Structure 1
Amino acid sequence: MKPAKRRKPTAIKISALTIIAVLMTTAGMSRLGLGLSAALAEADMARDTEMVADPGDPMDLLTALRMREADLEAREAALTARMGDLQVAEDRLASLLSEMDAAERALADTMATTQTAAEDDLTRLTVVYENMKPENAAILFEEMEPGFAAGFIARLRPDVAAQILAGLPPRTAYGISAILAGRNALVPTQ
């Protein structure tokens, strides 16, 4: 007879993934247990604080109620004071906004007055140039910076502008004409 073969003890093959899963599950369960016990303890504490120490003693109950009433009155007073502070702050904010609106209106009026005054000055000066002899105006326009001169030429009546440009040296007249032609070149058409 053949000797009996000895069986090798089979080792249980456990993968690393299985071990990690078991450890994670165990950790989760322990945390759940800790959280549950903490929640239960907190509920017990809340219930204990709501209970009166000795419901049979009316003086203790009366004292507890008076303390609670005093606490509520103190909270109410604090809330009333806070609401008063908030009302004062709200009133101050409304006042500041009103002042800011008034200042903004005053600034807009000043800007409009300034704009109108500047426009009035330009209109008056344009009329002066239109009433000058073209050859005298041409001498003056020749001394002006081309961009500045182009602004006035654009405001003049076309017949007066033509006479003044005709009295200017060709290079100066060309420079002013080029500025006039290019003033609106970059304006979007669509």
Structure 2
Amino acid sequence: MRSSVLPVLALAFTLPAGLALWQSQDLSRLFAAVAGPSDLLQGCGDVPEAVALAEELRDRALRIERYMESIDARKAEIAEAEATLRARLAELKARKGSIQSRRDGATDAVRSDIERLVAVYDQMKPAEAAAVLTNLPADFAAEILIRVRPETGARIIASVEPRQAALLTAQMGARSVRKQ
């Protein structure tokens, strides 16, 4: 018995719904809101609670609208600030690249100058090089002695008075330790 009732009930419910859909020309009308915002109070103007509720809903809608406008304005401000920051970042990256290239060029120039200076000291007689090095600052003299050929450096240190030779050797050792 149960199995024969279900198809009959299904037909009883779907037939009127299908008929209503077939007769209606605009299907969106079936699913649209029954009353528009202006029609909310139609027939209820004399009920104070309904009037108060309608005013509250209108006020809330206005506040939400203003809030959404402020959000849109903030989105625009954030987008503008982001574009400004991106432009500034690109500018700073370009500057960094140019500074780095200048620094590399200056470092290369200093290295070539030091190499030439070391070549000069390599060509000098040890006694003459020792006389000049003792008048230079100890750290600069140690730098030159480290870079000259080892046999030339040994002869120059041997030509320097013992106290100055000890100071230069200590500077050379300290420089080697700092590099590690």
Q: Same fold, TM exceeding 0.5?
A: yes
The one of 84, 89, 95 aligned to 2:81: 89
The one of 122, 126, 150 aligned to 2:142: 150
Q: Which amino acid aligns with 1:56?
A: C
Instruction: After TM superposition, list the pairs within 5 Å mapping 1:90-109 onto structure 2.
Output: 90-109=82-101
Shift of 1:136: 1.7
Aligned to 1:11: none
Aligned to 1:138: 130
The one of 94, 108, 114 aligned to 1:116: 108
User: Which SS does the other structure have where 1:143 is aligned?
Assistant: coil
Q: Which amino acid aligns with 1:87?
A: A
Pair 158,73 (structure 1): closer, same or farther in 2 beyond 3 Å: same
1:163 matched to 2:155? The reply is: yes
Shift of 1:159: 1.2
Shift of 1:183: 3.7
Pair 148,187 (structure 1): closer, same or farther in 2 beyond 3 Å: closer
Give me the whole-angstrom Cα distance separating, in 2, the residues matched to 1:117 and 1:73: 66
Pair 76,160 (structure 1): closer, same or farther in 2 beyond 3 Å: same
Give me the whole-angstrom Cα distance separating, in 1, the residues matched to 2:130 and 2:179: 30
Aligned to 1:16: none
Q: Output one character per residue of 1:30-77: Cα deviation in whole Å (capped at 9) or x when no partner.
A: xxxxxxxxxxxxxxxxxxxxxx777624xx8xx968777665554443
**Taking every aligned residue pair, what percent have the same amino acid on both sides?**
28
| Structure 2 unpaired stretches of 5+ | 1-39, 46-50
Give me the whole-angstrom Cα distance separating, in 2, the residues matched to 1:77 and 1:163: 84
The one of 104, 120, 132 aligned to 1:128: 120
- The TM-score, its normalising length taken from structure 1, stands at 0.57
Give me the whole-angstrom Cα distance separating, in 1, the residues matched to 2:171 and 2:59: 88
Pair 186,89 (structure 1): closer, same or farther in 2 beyond 3 Å: closer
Give me the whole-angstrom Cα distance separating, in 1, the residues matched to 2:139 and 2:111: 17
The one of 41, 44, 57 aligned to 1:56: 44
- The TM-score, its normalising length taken from structure 2, stands at 0.60
User: Which SS does the other structure have where 1:144 is aligned?
Assistant: coil
Shift of 1:96: 1.5
